[in-house]
A = this chain, B = another copy of it.
Amino acid sequence: MPDQVLIFSRFPKKQMVRIGERFDLIDAAGKRPHDVFSAEELANVRAMITAGGQALGANVMEMLPKLGAIVCYGTGYDGVDLAAAKARGVVVGNSPAANAAAVADLAMTLMLAATRRLLAADNYVRSGGWAGGTPSPLMSAPAGLTGARIGIYGMGEIGRKVAARAAAFEMEVGYHSRSRYDLPFSYHSTLSSLVEWCDILIVAVRAGPDTQHIIDAEMLRKLGPEGTLINISRGSVIDQGALTQALRDKVIAAAGLDVYEVEPHKPDALSELPNVVLTPHIGGHTAKSHMAMQDCVIANLTAFFSGRPLAHPVQL
């Protein structure tokens, strides 16, 4: 039984069909592998497929004596303990940029819905408030995007695609990232400067220990009462408690979130608020994006089992 691939995270079966046609998969479906499989079964696992945001540490790798490769379905790999992988000689791969357009599209969806108050608007029509002459929740007009300043935190593939879309909306685009790029957008050397400058902040940074809660109460005050915050990166980047309070106290105007500190996100004070739009981590969830991510997974596994370097390696 050589060359087995363990599916570590819980993925819809549909997303694994094309991969299953090429590799011998065993599916832990998000449970701890040794609760689902015997040590003997796990001894055959040479590679695993994981959702990059899910914690995957030395304790899991230890159960898999023949493990040689960790392949992330998606762009992120922040859940993978890279040091532990490196120490064991395990290579790590991801699906860079495969879902960038889909995630950027969702960032725009959340921005437009939050600034145009789409949920309240739809409810006003459906509930009969409009027909009945109930005072409109939309009476005070939103500023509008033309000329508004969008600040993009993180200028990777997703950030660039958000910038291109925002420019077409006649918005002024600024960004902050570790490096300054040759791009026709204003560069801010600090996140604080970007946040003070912009009306709408898009979090598109690669998450890691250095970005943990970097958007905190102080940063939200800088975004200000007309400000909107969108996060399609990782929940860890934002202090979610501080955000909930800022939205409740109108320290900022609105937010749109696809990611959360704990996923799946349970109903709580945040999900009671009217000035937030919430999606269940569906940024990369389009048919085109899944196809592209599966292509990357297949390319990585094919390279690994052929003894070649991964097609899309993560630097360890």
A positions within 8 Å CB-CB of B: 12, 14, 101-102, 105-106, 108-109, 112-113, 116, 118-119, 121-122, 124-128, 130-131, 133, 136, 138-139, 141-147, 164-165, 167-170, 264-267, 271, 277-280, 282, 285-290
* Residue numbers in B under 8 Å from A130 (CB-CB): 264-265, 280
CB-CB nearest 6 A-B residue pairs:
A144-B286, A168-B168, A144-B288, A109-B112, A125-B278, A130-B264
Q: Residue A121 contacts which of B101, B143, B266, B282 (CB distance < 8 angstroms)? A: B282
- CB nearest neighbor in B for A117: B282
Contact A121 B280 (CB under 8 A): yes
How far, in whole Å, are A288 and B141 apart by their CA atoms in the complex?
Answer: 9
Give the residues in chain B near A289, CB-CB below 8 Å.
141, 144
Which residues of chain B come closer than 8 Å to A138, judged between CB atoms? 280, 282, 285
Closest CB-CB distance, A269 to chain B, in whole Å? 12
Q: How far is the CA of A307 from the CA of B160 in the complex (A)?
A: 52
* Cβ contact of A266, chosen from B113, B128, B141, B146, cutoff 8 A: B128
Distance of A42 from chain B, by nearest CB (Å): 25
Distance of A280 Cα from B168 Cα, bound (Å): 25
Closest to A283 in B: B116
Q: Could you say which of B128, B139, B141, B288 contacts A286, with CB atoms under 8 Å apart?
A: B141
How far, in Å, is A6 (CB) from chain B's closest CB? 22
Residues of chain B contacted by A102 (CB below 8 angstroms): 144, 146
